[in-house]
Amino acid sequence: MTSYYSGNMRPGANLSLPYQFRINRLIWLAIAVVALMDVLLVYLAGLRIVLHSERNFLLIMAACMILALISRYLKRDDMLFFFCSVVLQLVAVSYVVSFAEYYGATLKRPLMDAAFIRIEHGLGFDWLAYMRWLNTHTSMA
């Protein structure tokens, strides 16, 4: 078990938090800010959010949250806590960003495919050549 706690300090006390814990809190703050911006943009765009099948999302979040809390406060296993936190953050970010994508679609801006293709070619990547190579090398696909 890896732990950064000293025997005299309670879990969560600011003086016992290493750098990773502070960064973790900043990431959650950034996710919350993006979520608030999404709510505002969706409201301004006149969109309505309908949540149909959020059961899997909520189950993953709840399982990771419970495991993170157990690992943080009962087991004092920081590595497991950080793993659970990263999984929670990735799930939360993917969920929050999806609302921004829907908002972006309402702007009815022209597609930027040509610009993205130029950027990819500038970086030395060619999707068409890659797909042709995969089609000829089916064992690699």
Q: Are residues 32 and 48 in the same domain?
A: yes
Q: Are residues 33 and 51 in the same domain?
A: yes
Confidence class of residue 8 from pLDDT cuts 50, 70 and 90? very low
| pLDDT exceeds 60 at position 94 | yes
Domain that holds residue 122: 111-141
Q: Are residues 82 and 126 in the same domain?
A: no
Domains identified in the chain, total number: 2
Q: Are residues 81 and 115 in the same domain?
A: no
The pLDDT of residue 141 is: 61
Q: What DSSP letter does each residue of 110-138 carry, written as one string?
A: PP-HHHHHHHHHHTT--HHHHHHHHHH-G
Please state whether the predicted TM-score (pTM) of the whole model is above 0.85. no
- For the segment 62-86, the average pLDDT, to the nearest whole number, is 84
Q: Are residues 60 and 94 in the same domain?
A: yes
81, burial (CB in 10 Å: exposed 0-12, middle 13-18, buried 19+)? buried
Which residues, in sequence order, are CB contacts of 84 under 8 Å at separation 6+? 64, 65, 67, 68, 71
Alpha-carbon distance 34 to 43, whole Å? 14
Q: Are residues 80 and 136 in the same domain?
A: no
Q: What is the token pair recorded at 44?
A: 């301004």
| pLDDT exceeds 90 at position 36 | yes
